[in-house]
Chains A and B, each alone.
Chain A
């Protein structure tokens, strides 16, 4: 696709349920990022993948959060046993990692998660 695609755009779930959020990055972008943005707040780094390197998981807030990236492309962010404080917009971004590239992050439209 032309841009970063995320699904679902909106997800309402009950506390304690598991959710999966999907991100399809721009074709050819080797770096993929997940951020979380709570209402009126900045972007909180969660995790990033770069090529075949081990992902940097340093921003995951708890072991209920996990992410994988299959085949160097699509990524899934999984939140187990959701809590109300998990309610936020989850933004995925991708980037072209290449000598001379600007390092610009291209964001998807986000997945808005509401935990009741």
Chain B
């Protein structure tokens, strides 16, 4: 079992729709969870981080964390073509500063 798992996609959504990206992790003691966006040929950049169970909203983005189910998700409301990118889930292992990334989900927002 991979430490951090994501569906590779592509996930295609029409412009204006909600995109839902999912991630599961294996280390039950993990404390910190991150979503990065990576445009083709570019480096990853942070979108959101979440530490506590529940939802965290920032503009069009909402991160959701369920530690009991070892599940973290990212919702993008009012999706725009400029949101088309690969979204990487990252988990910081408990007791370390080591970050493990999933393989990423490729999102396509269709105009």
Which residues of A does B touch, CB under 8 Å?
31, 33, 35, 41-45, 48, 50, 56, 58, 91, 95, 97, 102-105, 107-110
Contacts and interface: CB of A to CB of B under 8 A. Distances in A.
| Interface size range of chain B in the complex | 20 to 34
Given A48-B97, A102-B49, A103-B32, A110 B43 contact: yes
A107 B34 contact: no
Interface string B68-111: 00000000000000000000101010001111111110000000
11 contacts: A31-B97, A33-B99, A35-B101, A43-B88, A44-B101, A45-B98, A45-B99, A56-B98, A91-B44, A104-B49, A105-B44
Interface in B16-35: 32, 34
Given A104-B46, A107-B45, A42 B88 contact: yes
B43 A42 contact: no
A33 B100 CA distance: 11
Chain B interface, DSSP helix/strand/loop, else mixed: strand
Contacts of A48: 97-98
A109 B43 contact: yes
Interface of B: 6, 32, 34, 36, 42-46, 49, 88, 90, 92, 96-104
Given A41-B103, A42-B88, A102-B49, A107 B98 contact: no
